[in-house]
Structure formats: structure tokens, C-alpha cells
Amino acid sequence: MSDVKEPGGPDDYDPLAVFQAMAAGPSSEELYGRFALCRAEAPVHELIRSGDTQEGSSVKGDALDDMAELVGWGPDPTFMTMSFEAAQKVLGSPNMSSSGYYERVSPVFGHSMIEMDEPEHKEYRSLIAQAFTRKAMEEWESDLARPLVNGHIDTFAERGRADLVRELTFPYPIEVIGGMLGLPPEDLDQYRRWAVELLEIIGDMELGFAASLSLAAYFGRLISERRVDPRNDLISVIAHADKDGLKLSDDEIIAFLRLLLPAGAETTTRSLGNLILGLLMHPDQLEALRSDRSLMFPAIEEGLRWETSLVSVGRTPKLDTEICGTGIPGGSSVTVSLGAANRDETRWEEPDKFDIFRERKAHIAFGYGPHTCIGMHLARMETQVALTALLDRLPNLRLDVDAEVQPKILGQGLRSPTHLPVLFG
């Protein structure tokens, strides 16, 4: 990898410190309180990002203004969904385009599936899906996820205490992605650094673009090698994927591989941390899960519903439309709040409570419709492996209430705890 130029920065660069610095934003009480206020008024709101309260709305001042601060999607007029039904209607509608991501995403990631509409999206996704088979998932679980999790736990199991963010939930998902791609182990630290720098594009455009270019050069070389000499890894499968003569170009593969960083590692890092904290805050539920592993799936799904790592996604209506009684002009901006949808009190009783025993209903943490997350089964598998290992190997796992920094879920676009201090044994 020595021929690939690295972005600038100090040698003691700490990707976790950058990750933690991204956690500026409202607390759960603040964020979901705003959502509930707005949802009580209407399932869809038009927002004005100037700071002025929307004329005619009975939700005064702070709630709508604060919602507008969360929106960075497209031009005015801007609308935001607050209910589960509204979110499903937007994400499932063929009238709703993802092309609005083009100007925001393509300069950094390239032309990727996140900005594609049908039929291009379906064709592209069908080729990528060839890498996410049941057999591949089983191999990633046994050959990658389990050894990685246990390797991390080995480093602190005898200590009796750990910060599970620094020592597990932050490094583990990106290591899984690196293994899936067949990256050399010696390249992983640089890959992790590029991943974090890529996500810093909003705060530091120069650094983000440098990371994007470095990843393109790095992946381009690996793709060329795998086309000639395929191996048992995701890059090889995608490089040779074929459906009715349709194949992916190098640029299309690079765009997907770049997208794997936030979509495949960042969100899983955060959702895993959210779930672990939810269980630690409810020791009775943690112990119930320890005793009865049939509760694993309900626990994972409740964690995804309770604190959605990705708060919102955006869409643009191609034509004038109506969503839950609100007229939305074609070409306007629609922010779909996944977080608000998953706390909709008309769908879940006491939605702000973390409860792995609640009646099982589908959430929308992985989206809905054609753009439902292609890696959702991978994320669930990684989470199950990590949680199983923690329960098996760390008896009496509990929060360290005397730790200097206590865990709290924060964030605006992405949400998770930045620290998870625990004791065990």
C-alpha cells in the first residue's frame, strides 16, 4: 500500500476521537420530545429554515424551528415526516426520487445506489446483491465476526472493566467490512482513518476529498487485481458479477465500496452501542436475555427501533403529491424522519421506553421500499455475534456508575453513545 498517498494529518491521529467529536446534537429527551410535539399537530410538516415559525402552525417556535435545524436536504420548500405511516408512504412511493443525493453525495462517493432511481437502482442493486448471499453471510459470521469479537474481548476480559465503544463497538464493524473486502490486515488502520476522514467531508471538505481520492486509488488497484486473480472476497464477487450481460464498471464498484464505510460500518457501530446501552440501563432485561437467548432477535429489533442510528433520509417528489393530507409540490424537499417514525405512539405503546418484551411490529430503521438497506442482515448478524459473546464471556456485566464520563446517546444526523464504561466479573 506504500504507493497510495495518504491524506495529511499527525501520526498520532485517533479516528475514535473524530468519531466522538461528531456526537454534537440533542439528547434523546430533546430530540424525541420535539418529534412528539410536531407529530401531535400533524404527520407531515412544512419547515422554514430561516428560524421563523411556520405561519398557521399551532406548534409554536421551538419545536418546528429545532426540526428545521436538523434538515439539510435540498431546497425550500422543505417538508418533514413525523409519523410511521407518512415515512412508509414517502419511502414506498415510485413518485419519490433519491436523485437529490446527487449533489451532496456523488462528489465524494461517486455515482452510487443511494442516489439512483428505478430502473437503474434495481439493476445495480441486483448485481451488488450477488455478494450478500446466505452462504457468504454464514462465512462472514464464522470466519470474521466471531474471531474479531472474541479477539477484542480477549484484550480486556481479565481486567474487569472496559470502555466498550473504544474497545469493541468502534473497531469491530469496520474490521468486518475490511475482512469482507479481503483487505490486507496491515492496511486496516489506514483504511479506518480514510473511513472517518471521508465522513468528515462536511466539516473539512479538503480532508474528505483527499480521503475519497485515496480510497479510489486504493480500491482501483484491488479491483484490477481481483479481475485477473479473483479470491473469496466481496470485491472479487462484485468485480465478476453479471446479470444478463450487465456488469459493473470500476467506477461503480468504487462508489459502492466507498458507500460501505458509512452504510456498513458507521451505522452498525452506532446501533450496536445504542442496543448495549439500552440493555445496560435495564439490567432486568439484560439478565432475561442472558438466561433466554430466544430473546436475542426481539432485543436487536427493539434496539434498532428505540434509537435509530441514522435519524433521517431524504426524497424529492417528481410530481405534486399528497402525503397523509399534506400537499407537497413536485421538486420540493422531503426529509423522512426514521427516528420520529420509530417513536410513533399510534404504532407502539410508550414508544420512548426500551422494552425487549413489547409486541413485535416492524420498525423502519433500515428504511422501506426499494432502498431498504441491502446490508441489514449483515448488521443484524454482527450485532448478534457481539452481544452473544459479551453475554457468554462477561458475567455480571453492568455500567460503571463511577466512571468519569457516563454514557449518553447524542447526535443530530447519526446517534450513539461515545463511551460505554462497564464493569464485569
Is the whole model's pTM more than 0.75, yes or no?
yes
Q: Minimal CA–CA distance to 264: which of 73, 390, 114?
A: 114
- Write the CA distances from 96 to 100, 238, 315, 356, 371, integer angstroms: 10, 28, 6, 33, 11
The per-residue pLDDT for range 47-90, each reduced to its tens digit, is 865 444 444 444 434 555 555 555 555 666 799 999 999 999 99
Q: What is the CA radius of gyration of the chain?
A: 21
Which parts of 20-169 are beta strand (E)? 44-47, 78-81, 96-97, 161-163
What is the C-alpha separation between 343 and 286, in angstroms, rounded?
A: 22
**What is the rounded CA–CA span in Å between residue 386 and residue 392?**
10
Class of domain 15-423: mainly alpha
What rounded mean pLDDT belongs to the chain? 88
Taking the CA atoms of residue 242, residue 248, residue 249 and residue 255 in that order, the dihedral angle to the nearest 10 degrees is: -160
Q: Is 329 exposed, middle or buried (0-12, 13-18, 19+ CB in 10 A)?
A: exposed
Question: Which cell numbers in the block locate residue 20?
Answer: 466522538
Amino acid occupying residue 31: L
The pLDDT assigned to 13 comes to 67
Q: Are 288 and 46 in contact (CB under 8 A)?
A: no
Cα dihedral: 337, 343, 344, 349 (round 10): 170
Q: How confident is the model over 85-142, as pLDDT tens digits?
A: 999 999 999 999 998 887 777 778 888 898 999 999 999 999 999 999 989 999 999 9
Sequence-distant (≥ 6) Cβ neighbours of residue 126 within 8 angstroms: 243
Provide, rounded to the nearest whole percent, the portion of the chain with pLDDT above 70.
89
Identify which of 21, 2, 10 has the alpha carbon closest to the alpha carbon of residue 414: 21
Instruction: Single out the residue of 236, 250, 248 nearest to residue 131, CA to CA.
Output: 236
Least confident among 96-105, 193-202, 319-328, 393-402: 193-202
Identify the DSSP state of 310.
B
**In the prediction, which pLDDT does 61 show?**
43
User: How many angstroms separate the CA atoms of 262 and 369, rounded?
Assistant: 20
